[in-house]
């Protein structure tokens, strides 16, 4: 099989973790006689430094022509504390999501029993935790009109949604739920927000087409509590962009292994895969970052390309490194292996 | 001392927990020879049932004339799943906050060492957790223009802030920080939202007037993680309305004792005090709800009236019930005491 993969290394630890995924993809290509054609693009702080733009047109063109995109991480603290900066790394990622129509951000959250001791939660809360967050990614307050007056005394952000934006991701989420434990939870703030009431109404309608799925509704403040108190109650959590940003990050740390979690951002024509961790600049260049989040994102990428056997093999390889205690410093601060070693080991297993 | 206190019992377990606080206030009045004049008002589902309105004008008038307001809880599930309902209980509370200008919601989060076993977090994460959330309460997306078209295909909520709204609560929060560990964390989403960039800019300016306070900035998604991973890093957390709703609820459950946490909503002329828990309809009328959240809110109310000795005594009384294992069912499901018994015990101690 021939496939075009756009590769965006990005900022901080992005390059070093993504390079491990490329080793794994090469091993898969060799073993299964596929041909993956990689084209590299710039985005984020890296792109600003080199081109002045957080998302050069060339990167967008490369992504539009690819079957899938493998991405590292974005962000550089030097931009964060200047509220008036006109150009910021994150604009690149937001523009890419919008331009490619990557409307569904999918984040599986499962705990690795051998890593329960790393979780901030007590072990009894962690057993059987296995859910997926479906976050709407191209609408809401992220993309509504933004205003600020010249004197910087007043600012606003508009949160808006229309029915078809909600329907689109809802169908995705309901279909995924049917393949899982058949329990979907919509998270909103319908007691306050008009957009949330629209979400609730549309999801109630869509639900009629999936009579085998049980649907629950939770207010976002309650959801933030339930994720900690009793995370195993969730199967598929569906929510809008801003709430999804907050809740999926909260969900990711309950596992105690943030560095191991993957994500997919899916659109009608292409999809982007990235670890959920950030650019973690303090660790950049030290060969200590955990590449498993990126490698498991690569497994999701292979699934997306229809290469299910290959995806399973990558997951088996990761499970084997974990069982064999081949882990990075974040998992075992004493007996640890380097980022690049984990990449080599997973590739060799494959 | 003569003080006028408006009492709003509200929905669900609101009446039974608030009645315990009234017992305690009466005991304080007797012991210290104060006179508290109570006036009762309706709000929430209770008010809708009795008057058709979630906040009758009479209740607002009572509150405007009072030195402080003691409130129970709001909400009834029968309104939650009808997105098109025109009248909802929460409208009452939102209107009250806006009309009285209660712009700062203050929620202290401290763990009780004897209750660490109830927390979903491991005990090592709980030691020395002692922080306060300052949530802006009368601005942002809660009160911006809301739109929905007649066909219910498109909806929007406007999030807006101006400089003076941000300055007002920031000064409160900085002053509180000076009395504590001198560390303030602003939580925003300045990498995406224009309003957040305004918050960051204004807080950076206000900070110059409080050179002894160390100021940190966290994105809201990261804050949702840090609250679980390492809650003891926080001293005062300052944030806007919607983020504060989510984060303060998340923060409250890490203690394992949601039923014991108080809150204050403060404005220029009056202030409202309520437990942070909700109306918990399943428990209503069973005399099993934990009244400590309401009783500790009453201690905050006494502080607000300048009655510091009285407030301390109430806190001592609560600590004594805890040490003596006089606790409700949520704390000890086997050897538990009734709501009304705890109220009696705290009053007798006083
Ligand atoms: C970098 C930032 C703009 C982004 C977001 O808020 O969507 C990130 O937090 C994420 O969740 O992918
Ligand atoms: C009841 C609801 C409108 C309210 C809010 O969202 O502000 C509640 O969750 C709170 O935090 O006091």
* Domain end marker among B225, B254, B283: B254
Evaluate whether B73 touches B10 at the Cβ level (below 8 Å). Answer: yes
Determine the pLDDT at residue A165.
98
Q: Is the pLDDT of residue B256 over 90?
A: no
Counting beta carbons within 10 angstroms of the beta carbon of residue A162, is it exposed (0 to 12), middle (13 to 18) or buried (19 or more)? middle
Report d(CA B198, CA B161) in Å as an integer: 8
The closest CB to that of A154, out of B160, B220, B247, belongs to B160
Residue A55's closest CA among A44, A71, A68, A66? A44
Residues B279 and B338 in one domain: yes
Counting beta carbons within 10 angstroms of the beta carbon of residue A106, is it exposed (0 to 12), middle (13 to 18) or buried (19 or more)? buried
Residue B83's pLDDT band (boundaries 50, 70, 90)? low
pLDDT: which is higher, B1 or A337? A337
Q: Is the pLDDT of residue A85 over 80?
A: no
Residues A292 and A311 in one domain: yes
Determine the pLDDT at residue B275.
97
A113, part of any domain: no
Residues B127 and B235 in one domain: yes
Could you tell me what percent of chain B has a pLDDT over 90? 90
Residues A248 and A138 in one domain: yes
Residues B129 and B243 in one domain: yes
Determine the pLDDT at residue B320.
95
A166, part of any domain: yes
Residue B177's closest CA among B220, B133, B208? B133
Residues spanned by the domain of A242: 120-254
Residues B210 and B317 in one domain: no
Residues B229 and B283 in one domain: no
* Domain end marker among B254, B285, B301: B254
Q: How many residues does this entry show for chain A?
A: 350
Residues A137 and A234 in one domain: yes
CATH code, domain with B129 = 3.40.50.2300
Model's pTM, two decimal places? Answer: 0.95
Determine the pLDDT at residue B121.
95
Q: Quick check: is B245 catalytic?
A: yes
Q: Between residues 66 and 125 of chain B, which touch chain A (CB distance below 8 Å)?
A: 75, 79-81, 83-84, 88, 90, 94, 119-122, 125
CATH code, domain with A148 = 3.40.718.10
Evaluate whether A315 touches A302 at the Cβ level (below 8 Å). Answer: no
Evaluate whether A40 touches A8 at the Cβ level (below 8 Å). Answer: yes
Determine the pLDDT at residue A83.
66
Q: What is the residue whose two structure tokens read 């690149």?
A: A92
* Domain end marker among B203, B226, B254: B254
Please give the residue of chain A at the shortest CA–CA distance from B254: A228
Residue A149's pLDDT band (boundaries 50, 70, 90)? very high
Report d(CA A56, CA A49) in Å as an integer: 11
B284, part of any domain: yes
Evaluate whether B91 touches B48 at the Cβ level (below 8 Å). Answer: no
A115, part of any domain: no
Cβ–Cβ gap A198/B83 under 8 Å: yes
Binding site annotation covers B125? Answer: no
Q: Is the pLDDT of residue B82 over 80?
A: no
State the average pLDDT over residues B220-238: 97
Look at chain A and report how many structural domains it folds into: 2
Evaluate whether A242 touches A73 at the Cβ level (below 8 Å). Answer: no
Q: Is the pLDDT of residue B77 over 80?
A: yes
Residues of B in contact with A187 (CB under 8 A): none
State the average pLDDT over residues A124-128: 91
Residues A138 and A246 in one domain: yes
Determine the pLDDT at residue B1.
86
B150, part of any domain: no
Residues of B in contact with A253 (CB under 8 A): 225, 228-229
For CA atoms A311, A312, A317, A323, the dihedral sign is positive
State the average pLDDT over residues B144-154: 95
Q: What is the residue whose two structure tokens read 């660790």?
A: A283
Residue B263 pairs in a beta bridge with B274
**Encoded tokens for B99:** 């009309």
Q: Chain B within 8 Å of A190 (Cβ-Cβ)?
A: yes
> What DSSP string runs through B138-154?
SSGGGTS-EEE-TTSSE
State the average pLDDT over residues B54-78: 95
Could you tell me what percent of chain A has a pLDDT over 70? 99
State the average pLDDT over residues B214-242: 97
Q: Is the pLDDT of residue A30 over 80?
A: yes
Residues framing ligand 1 (Cβ under 6 A): A 74-75, 90, 93-94, 245; B 191-192, 221
Evaluate whether B246 touches A246 at the Cβ level (below 8 Å). Answer: yes
Q: Chain A within 8 Å of B154 (Cβ-Cβ)?
A: yes
Residues B233 and B265 in one domain: no
Point out the catalytic residue in the list B3, B11, B23, B142: B142
Q: What is the residue whose two structure tokens read 């059987």?
A: A128
Residues of B in contact with A221 (CB under 8 A): 245-246, 248-250
Evaluate whether A350 touches A24 at the Cβ level (below 8 Å). Answer: yes
Q: Is the pLDDT of residue A230 over 80?
A: yes
Residues B248 and B284 in one domain: no
A114, part of any domain: no
Instruction: Count chain A–chain B contacts defined by CB atoms under 8 A.
Output: 202
A112, part of any domain: no
Q: How far is CA A311 from CA A5, A260, A270, in A?
A: 15, 16, 18
At B186-205, the pLDDT tens digits run 999 998 999 999 999 999 99
Residues A84 and A15 in one domain: yes
Residue B132 pairs in a beta bridge with B108, B236
B339, part of any domain: yes
Strands A236-239 and A183-188: parallel
The closest CB to that of B249, out of A144, A217, A221, belongs to A221
Q: Chain A within 8 Å of B208 (Cβ-Cβ)?
A: no
Ligand index nearest the alpha carbon of residue A252:
1
């Amino acid at each position: 099989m021939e496939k075009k993969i756009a590769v965006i290394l990005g900022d901080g630890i992005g390059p070093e973790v993504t390079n491990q995924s490329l080793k794994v993809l090469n091993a898969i290509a060799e073993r299964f006689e596929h041909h993956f054609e990689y084209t590299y693009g710039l985005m984020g702080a890296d792109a600003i430094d080199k081109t002045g733009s957080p998302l050069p047109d060339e990167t967008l063109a490369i992504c539009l022509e690819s079957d899938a995109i493998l991405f590292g991480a974005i962000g550089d603290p030097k931009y964060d504390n200047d509220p008036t900066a006109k150009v910021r790394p994150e604009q690149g990622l937001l523009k890419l999501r919008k331009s490619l129509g990557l409307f569904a951000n999918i984040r599986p959250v499962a705990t690795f029993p051998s890593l329960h001791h790393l979780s901030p939660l007590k072990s009894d809360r962690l057993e059987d935790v296995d859910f997926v967050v479906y976050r709407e990614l191209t609408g809401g307050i992220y993309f509504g009109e933004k205003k600020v007056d010249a004197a910087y005394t007043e600012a606003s952000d508009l949160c808006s949604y229309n029915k078809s934006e909600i329907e689109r991701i809802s169908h995705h989420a309901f279909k995924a739920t049917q393949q899982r434990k058949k329990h979907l939870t919509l998270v909103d703030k319908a007691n306050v927000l008009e957009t949330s009431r629209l979400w609730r109404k549309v999801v109630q309608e869509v639900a009629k087409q999936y009579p085998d799925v049980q649907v629950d509704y939770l207010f976002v403040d309650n959801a933030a509590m339930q994720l900690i108190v009793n995370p195993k109650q969730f199967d598929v959590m569906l929510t809008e962009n801003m709430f999804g940003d907050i809740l999926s990050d909260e969900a990711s740390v309950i596992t105690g292994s943030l560095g191991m979690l993957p994500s997919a951002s899916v659109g009608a024509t292409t999809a982007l895969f990235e670890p959920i961790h950030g650019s973690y600049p303090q660790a950049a260049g030290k060969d200590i970052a955990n590449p498993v989040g990126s490698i498991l994102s690569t497994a999701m990428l292979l699934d997306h390309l229809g290469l299910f056997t290959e995806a399973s093999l990558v997951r088996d390889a990761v499970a084997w490194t974990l069982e064999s205690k081949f882990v990075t410093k974040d998992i075992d601060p004493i007996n640890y292996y380097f980022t690049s070693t984990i990449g080599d080991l997973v590739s060799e297993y494959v």
